[in-house]
Structure 1
């Protein structure tokens, strides 16, 4: 009449409850370690100090009367720079930052062509919300803007922050 414990239902039921929690925890840990979110900065204080430096570069672009327009074509992004008080078209560091997908970010150095346009060849069309920044090669000034791409209208990049 008395069965050994390992042949009864209730001990196995009670062992299975914590066992399923352990398996689910391992699955969740594996899932999140493979798909890490990159929205939170590890050193937010240092990035906050960098914002002030960015503002001074934007103000310097305003003092030079600089602005730019971005037009999207099928396989490229074309920047038209109004060089303001600059004597020549400088080499630019162009940055496209996606709002949530850091692996889609693009950073490239470009020179102007004979017409004063900067062209970046794209491996795939840009879609979604983007933060776009143009920096002087020497880092003395910057222009930036936000765009929801693809856009049929040119996107204006400013030196000052538009509110």
Structure 2
């Protein structure tokens, strides 16, 4: 008599009917977790108390800039990748300035551009990469981005590259 020979488990139809949904769930879950980790939202600062205490110092930077009558016009040359700043006010113009471009959503995209003085009140620098959409701007005489709280003054502004390549900067304008 012919007895049916049994097949190995991986050749059985019902084994794959049970395993296929489980394998699919594992693959899709792995993809979802990797996307969540790679594109995670920026964290809220753990030092919110310290940051709020530093607000008063930041307000003093704005007040000093206002007392000095400081204002600036930032112009980006998007095709050449450069930026120029016209700084006006009653101050000793430093040899170098720091222009910080902060992306409103992704902290990893923030850029710090060192500007060199071309003439009294006129500065220029190079922008590393193409810019588009909206950015927050901060201009200060402190060249170390991590020491921005120690800057003597600061000017703030905002630019939307979809609308133009220039933006005014004023004390506490943001």
Q: Give the TM-score range, shorter chain.
A: 0.7 to 0.9
The equivalences for 1:1-163 within 5 A come to: 6=9, 9-10=13-14, 12-33=16-37, 35-43=38-46, 45=48, 46-73=50-77, 74-75=79-80, 76-84=82-90, 86=91, 88-90=92-94, 91-137=96-142, 139-149=151-161, 152=164, 154-161=166-173
RMSD in angstroms over aligned alpha carbons?
3.0
Following the alignment from structure 1 to structure 2, what is the Cα–Cα distance between the partners of residues 150 and 99?
Answer: 15
Question: CA contact under 8 A between 1:72 and 1:151: conserved in structure 2?
Answer: no
Question: CA contact under 8 A between 1:144 and 1:157: conserved in structure 2?
Answer: yes
Q: How many residues align?
A: 159
Question: Normalising to structure 1: TM-score of the pair?
Answer: 0.76
Question: Normalising to structure 2: TM-score of the pair?
Answer: 0.72
- The structure with the largest alpha-carbon Rg is 2
Following the alignment from structure 2 to structure 1, what is the Cα–Cα distance between the partners of residues 56 and 14?
Answer: 64
Q: Can you give the 5+ residue segments of structure 2 that lack an aligned partner in the other structure?
A: 143-149
Q: Can you give the 5+ residue segments of structure 1 that lack an aligned partner in the other structure?
A: none
1:19 is paired with a residue whose SS is helix
